[in-house]
Amino acid sequence: MPSELFVVGLSWRSASVSIREKLAFHDEELESHLQSLVSHELIDEAVILSTCNRVEIYGCTSWTAPASAVAHAAAETRAFISQSRGYPAEKLSNVLFEHLEQDAIRHIFRVASALDSMVVGESQILGQLKSAFGASSTYQSVGPVLGRCMERSFSVAKRVRTETGISRGAANVSSVAVELAKRVFGELDGKAVLVVGAGKMSALAARHLRADGAAKIRVTNRSLEKAERLAKEIDGLASGWEDLEMELCKADVIITSTGAREPVVTKKIMKKVMKQRRYKPCFIMDIAVPRDVESSVGKLEGVYLFDMD
């Protein structure tokens, strides 16, 4: 029988950030998990896409599998997600979706084209999908069928961006975060801004902040070298990670996106920070998944906390 494609996963449409952060896959885990997937007798090829807004596994059944194999392969993938993430299967039943055969192809094309994104038309998802495909190629978990589908999805995404007006606004999660900050404060000029993290999302946010009038931007990151590099690009200043609490005290606007697996801004830290600020209002936009800021921070007086949802 010919191989059949399937997709199993969850996105911002089906699962809250509190669930998405528990099921996220990290780069250093991909090789072992991809090999585990394709070692299954029903699954020949696999790609894992894990972003702030979705965790999806794209798979392809074995050439030797029977006609009914695609549904069984999807069920095995559901079980794999539960087991590998240590998350009870019964709690996933209402958040995991699956698409089989033609519906799987349609879904992959929609994801690549940013039609299924929280911010429709954003450009980051195509790069993230290409990176996921690249990792699968490196770890030899993708073959001719799924590979052809992924390559075609990139072409479709390019056509969508060039032949329609979907990218006219050029919006992305980071730019929306900055727009929200402007809505709260009116203007960012004169506001002290802190960017926590120096990865892609943080860098995008920093550039948008600078373009929208924020003149006093500080960047902090575990790697001071990366913080200095980003700060130089936006004409800002860099701070060492050990100065995080001090920088939080100074900032009116905080945008955070690190790769940490546990919150870096806790309620304990922010209680001290807000006391030192004399409860002067503080806007925090946490665009990391897993989240960088404990949700209880939003209950503190003077703190306005927003996460991806």
Catalytic positions: 52
Q: Which of 118, 115, 117, 146 is nearest to 132 (CA)?
A: 146
Q: How far are the Cα atoms of 131, 260, 261, 271, 297 from residue 265, in angstroms, in the given order?
A: 29, 11, 12, 10, 8
* Residue 68: exposure state from Cβ atoms within 10 A (0-12, 13-18, ≥19): exposed
Q: From the CB of residue 170, how many other CB atoms can be counted at a distance below 10 Å?
A: 9
Tokens of 237: 């200043």
Q: What is the C-alpha separation between 177 and 165, in angstroms, rounded?
A: 22
Greatest extent of the chain over all pairs of C-alpha atoms, in Å:
69
